[in-house]
Structure 1
Amino acid sequence: MSQSVLLRLRRAWEGVRRPGSFARNLVIMLSGSTLSTLVGVLLTPVVSRIYPPAAYGQFAVYNALISNLNLLSTLAYPGALLLARRRSQFLALVQLSVLVSVASSALLVLVLVWLGPWLMRHLHVEALGNWLYTLPVMLLVFNLNHVMSTWYMRDKLFGKRVGVEMATNLGGRAFTIGYGLLSNGHVAGLLLADFLNRVVATVTLMAGSIRHEFGALRRQFSGRWLRLVAHRYRNFPLLYLPGGYVYILSTQLPVFLLAPAFGTTAVGLYSFSLGLLEMPVNVLGAAIAPVFQQKAAETYQTEPERLPGITLRLYNQLLYLGVLPFSIVTVYGDVLFRVAFGARWEPAGVFTGYLGFYALFKLLSLATTGIYTVTGRQKYYLYANLLLLLVRTLCLGVGISQHNLDLTLLLFGVGSLLATFAVDLHVLHLLRLPVLRIALRMLGLIGLAWLLTWLSRLGLAHYLPFFR
């Protein structure tokens, strides 16, 4: 038995040492994402005592607008960058993505001149003031950063990308704290830190090793070639774009509906809660998603019979990794937030109890999200996200109609969990895996972890009033 374990460890270490291997790329991305998020976790108690929930809510609305415009402003063409087999096609996709993004940002300027004041009144974010009109610039920087990051992923330059992200994340956090102390927690500190973070990251990536190809990018510019590539990858604007936009809209739906119904303070509490819950998801997502998607695309093109196995293996590993931590956060959320962030953030801790297991299922979906794209089934991606949007809209509508914030977020968490679980099972079914057995085993493990954690809190509450 010990020899078998040692053999597995030796093979794993050999994989980590091999340049360009899946294991090595995964370790590089995971270590970088973990360190960046660790910095964020350590500094969040400081930031939460400087910025009030209302500032977080205004920042969440601004980010929600950026997220909703991201796919629309590129027509989803950056999603095809990893799939282009020929270098000439890849460079043409880069050109196409940048041109569409520039044109979209210019159009957004006109839209904001017309609808800006109405938008601020409707979303109750008048405190943003003229910062709302920086949306076109932020959107352009966001899209350029996405294109450059994907370029590094395609060329398997994971280490350089991680280094840039770590440095800019640390600098952004330092700026957030410094500006917040000087401005008494004004939302501009959060906005400026995010903007500078993306600008520095984009410029640094552009100045890296890929700069040597900018000459070819310029020389190969051709309107005819752009039209051919746009037509070849037309499934992305026609199928992936609607599906991706529906998903983003469903993700940001609480922000757009909670702001008019309950105010930006409620939005701030919700976004703070979900942001912390999704920190581990984002850590693993930033590490695993790009590496796994690159590996899955490569495997599907060369050895498609191996794709179900590597997908299920990652799915199970994520389940084992996340089930206990998310159970603890779900049961002890209010206590943890009260101690770590102060009494004014305790309601956000209560919200983690409603959203905790949804965050776990979102973590598991890292193993399934890209399979629709890799296997050329983008239409299912659209259907899945329509289901998620429908369920979330219904749940939020019921809660808001009752004028009850707790009920609204509880229903949102449960509905999101069920819809995400159904989509995951559908992906596993398409890969011809034993869905029923997988589902029963997963639910049994999650139920057991939650029960043991809840019993531990009951026991502590019996002796220590602090946990009641």
Structure 2
Amino acid sequence: MGFMNIVNSLKDRVLKSEFNKSVLVLAGGTAVAQAVPILISPILTRLYTPEDFGAFAIFMSITSIISVIACGKYELAIMLPEKDEDAINVAAVAFLFNVFVSGLFFLFILFFGDWLLDVLNAKNLGWLIYLAPLSVFLLGTFSILNYTNNRFKLYKDISKANIYKSLAGAVVQIGMGFLKYKTTGLVFGYIASQLFSNFKLFKNISKYFSSINYLYIKTMFHKYKNFPIYYVPGALIDTISSNIHFFFISFYFGIKVTGLYFFAYKIVSAPFSLIASAISQVFFREFSFLFQKDLVSARNFLKKTALNLLILSISVNFALIVLIYVFWSFIFGLKWEDSKSIAIILLISYLIRFIVSPISVALVSSNKLNYLLQWQILYFAVEVIFFAVIYIFHISFQDFLLYLIFVEWFIYSVYLIFIFKSVEIKKR
């Protein structure tokens, strides 16, 4: 009885907080969504080769880089207007940006797609590169729908959309893998997952479309013009910095090593993304409202969240390192043995990223986009210098991974300083 009383007491304390309940709802759906790819990974590693995963990594990296700027970052501004009518028109601005950027990207791939694959040493991706613009459009649309549903506190539906997304991708990838479609199966599953998730979230906001009109769109376009001006360059640099590892590894170490690295990255990032994405979404909303009303409360909320993330990161990190060391080869097969050491090293570098990334949206709420841009430029510069050193001095892949830890810890420590500095400056 004593133990049950403690459990019930903790449960009541957690559920009293609206923030905690929202995080649990999002985390629950995201947990299922993240669990599906992890659970099917032992199947995928026996249906696909490291070379297949390497080509898929290049496809995902290319689409991730373009999709981050596809909406002009107007999707972030959906949370800011007081009126829902204004918010839905901000979403319309973001969608128009998405159509425009996706169209331009299609023209680029049409004329330069083959050249791009030659440069990246990813010729086995082949004709699938021409599906990249479609993927960019779907990713941009999902971002808009996700923030709009978040605006209206439709957390349960966001969770369901993530689950549908994961299940659809898993079914297609496994099915096409058994049919020996190789890289095609991975790419098709990725696109199928985007289609299913968008459909679910689109249904929720279709009733607000009557509020959209040209004059409001034009007004919102100008009102939040700082987002494409200040946020897009930084976001583009940031995403390139996050994905340049795959490009460089493919170019310098080969597509097979890229596949091993990408798979380890995929497995390691899943549990962190599971919690971090849910916390980030709810933190963004709560911190934004606190920042407008009471800076002291907002700053305390930021500190408390960062401390909780530190404790959580250390706990999850330690548990995962033990599990990976003991069970990796048994679960994924001997041909993926080389990716085990990669996974452990990535876990160490992820510890600080997990603390910083969920609370980085505080820079958006505090309107310190210039700080964010400065950090992103620094990140990009450090990464370029890092890869140049690796290339010039012919450093081995294992040493490359070890040096990567120091780079990540340095970069994200600076990021954390910027986040807290932005709140302190606002007070003055």
TM over 0.5: yes
CA 1:8–1:432 in structure 2 vs 1: closer, same or farther (change >3 Å)? Answer: farther
- 2 CA distance for matches of 1:417 and 1:118? 35
Q: What does residue range 200-219 of structure 1 map to in structure 2 within 5 Å? A: 200-208=196-204, 210-217=205-212
Q: How many equivalent pairs are there? A: 422
2:155 corresponding residue in structure 1: 158
- 1 CA distance for matches of 2:414 and 2:244? 20
Question: How far does the alpha carbon of each residue in 1:374-396 deviate from its partner, in whole angstroms, 9 at most, with x for none?
Answer: 10111110111122222222222
- Tell me if the contact between 2:89 and 2:211 (Cα under 8 Å) persists in the aligned partners: no
- 2 CA distance for matches of 1:270 and 1:33? 23
1:314 corresponding residue in structure 2: 305
Instruction: Say whether residues 1:22 and 2:19 are aligned partners.
Output: yes
1:53 corresponding residue in structure 2: 50
- Cα deviation for residue 178 of structure 1 reads 1.3
- Equivalent residue for 1:94, pick from 91, 96, 104: 91
- Cα deviation for residue 330 of structure 1 reads 4.6
- Equivalent residue for 1:13, pick from 8, 11, 15: 15
Q: What does residue range 72-111 of structure 1 map to in structure 2 within 5 Å? A: 72-111=69-108
- 2 CA distance for matches of 1:377 and 1:126? 41
- 2 CA distance for matches of 1:60 and 1:274? 10
2:334 corresponding residue in structure 1: 343
Query: Which amino acid in the other structure matches residue 256 of structure 1?
Result: F
CA 1:24–1:353 in structure 2 vs 1: closer, same or farther (change >3 Å)? Answer: closer
- 1 CA distance for matches of 2:154 and 2:39? 28
- Equivalent residue for 1:43, pick from 37, 40, 44: 40
- Equivalent residue for 2:224, pick from 217, 228, 233: 233
- Cα deviation for residue 270 of structure 1 reads 1.1
2:132 corresponding residue in structure 1: 135
1:192 corresponding residue in structure 2: 188
Instruction: Say whether residues 1:404 and 2:406 are aligned partners.
Output: no
Name structure 1 gaps, 5 residues minimum.
16-20, 434-468
- Tell me if the contact between 1:172 and 1:194 (Cα under 8 Å) persists in the aligned partners: yes
- Tell me if the contact between 2:78 and 2:87 (Cα under 8 Å) persists in the aligned partners: yes
CA 1:410–1:396 in structure 2 vs 1: closer, same or farther (change >3 Å)? Answer: farther
Instruction: Say whether residues 1:251 and 2:242 are aligned partners.
Output: yes
- Cα deviation for residue 153 of structure 1 reads 0.3
SS state of the match for residue 410, structure 1? helix
Query: Which amino acid in the other structure matches residue 390 of structure 1?
Result: A
- 2 CA distance for matches of 1:305 and 1:404? 49
Q: What does residue range 266-277 of structure 1 map to in structure 2 within 5 Å? A: 266-277=257-268
Query: Which amino acid in the other structure matches residue 389 of structure 2?
Result: V
CA 1:114–1:367 in structure 2 vs 1: closer, same or farther (change >3 Å)? Answer: closer
- 1 CA distance for matches of 2:184 and 2:217? 39
Query: Which amino acid in the other structure matches residue 196 of structure 1?
Result: A
CA 1:118–1:278 in structure 2 vs 1: closer, same or farther (change >3 Å)? Answer: same
1:427 corresponding residue in structure 2: 419
2:61 corresponding residue in structure 1: 64
- 2 CA distance for matches of 1:172 and 1:128? 18
CA 1:31–1:77 in structure 2 vs 1: closer, same or farther (change >3 Å)? Answer: same
Q: Which of structures 1 and 2 has the bigger CA Rg? A: 1
- Cα deviation for residue 340 of structure 1 reads 1.9
Question: How far does the alpha carbon of each residue in 1:241-265 deviate from its partner, in whole angstroms, 9 at most, with x for none?
Answer: 1111111010011111111111111
- Tell me if the contact between 1:281 and 1:362 (Cα under 8 Å) persists in the aligned partners: no
SS state of the match for residue 207, structure 1? helix
CA 1:327–1:421 in structure 2 vs 1: closer, same or farther (change >3 Å)? Answer: farther
- Equivalent residue for 2:146, pick from 144, 149, 154: 149
- Cα deviation for residue 113 of structure 1 reads 2.0
Instruction: Say whether residues 1:370 and 2:361 are aligned partners.
Output: yes
Please, what TM-score do these two structures have when normalized by structure 1?
0.85
- 1 CA distance for matches of 2:16 and 2:324? 40
- Tell me if the contact between 1:247 and 1:385 (Cα under 8 Å) persists in the aligned partners: yes
- Equivalent residue for 1:181, pick from 157, 161, 178: 178
SS state of the match for residue 367, structure 2? coil
2:293 corresponding residue in structure 1: 302
Question: How far does the alpha carbon of each residue in 1:188-245 deviate from its partner, in whole angstroms, 9 at most, with x for none?
Answer: 111111101111111222123x22112322xx233xx433322211211111111111
2:214 corresponding residue in structure 1: 221
- Cα deviation for residue 320 of structure 1 reads 1.5
SS state of the match for residue 79, structure 2? coil
Query: Which amino acid in the other structure matches residue 347 of structure 1?
Result: D
- 1 CA distance for matches of 2:136 and 2:294? 38
- Tell me if the contact between 1:399 and 1:409 (Cα under 8 Å) persists in the aligned partners: no
- 2 CA distance for matches of 1:122 and 1:150? 35
- Cα deviation for residue 11 of structure 1 reads 3.7
- Cα deviation for residue 167 of structure 1 reads 2.4
CA 1:163–1:5 in structure 2 vs 1: closer, same or farther (change >3 Å)? Answer: closer
- 1 CA distance for matches of 2:151 and 2:307? 26
Q: What does residue range 329-340 of structure 1 map to in structure 2 within 5 Å? A: 329-330=320-321, 333=324, 335-340=326-331
Instruction: Say whether residues 1:279 and 2:270 are aligned partners.
Output: yes
CA 1:95–1:332 in structure 2 vs 1: closer, same or farther (change >3 Å)? Answer: closer
SS state of the match for residue 409, structure 2? helix
2:116 corresponding residue in structure 1: 119
- Tell me if the contact between 1:49 and 1:342 (Cα under 8 Å) persists in the aligned partners: yes
- 1 CA distance for matches of 2:235 and 2:349? 19
Instruction: Say whether residues 1:242 and 2:212 are aligned partners.
Output: no
- 1 CA distance for matches of 2:318 and 2:222? 47
- Tell me if the contact between 1:58 and 1:264 (Cα under 8 Å) persists in the aligned partners: yes
- Tell me if the contact between 1:55 and 1:187 (Cα under 8 Å) persists in the aligned partners: yes
1:443 corresponding residue in structure 2: none
- 1 CA distance for matches of 2:302 and 2:147? 21
Query: Which amino acid in the other structure matches residue 168 of structure 1?
Result: K
Please, what TM-score do these two structures have when normalized by structure 2?
0.92
Instruction: Say whether residues 1:353 and 2:348 are aligned partners.
Output: no
- 2 CA distance for matches of 1:161 and 1:8? 26
- Cα deviation for residue 65 of structure 1 reads 0.8
RMSD: 2.3
- 1 CA distance for matches of 2:286 and 2:199? 27
- Cα deviation for residue 335 of structure 1 reads 4.6
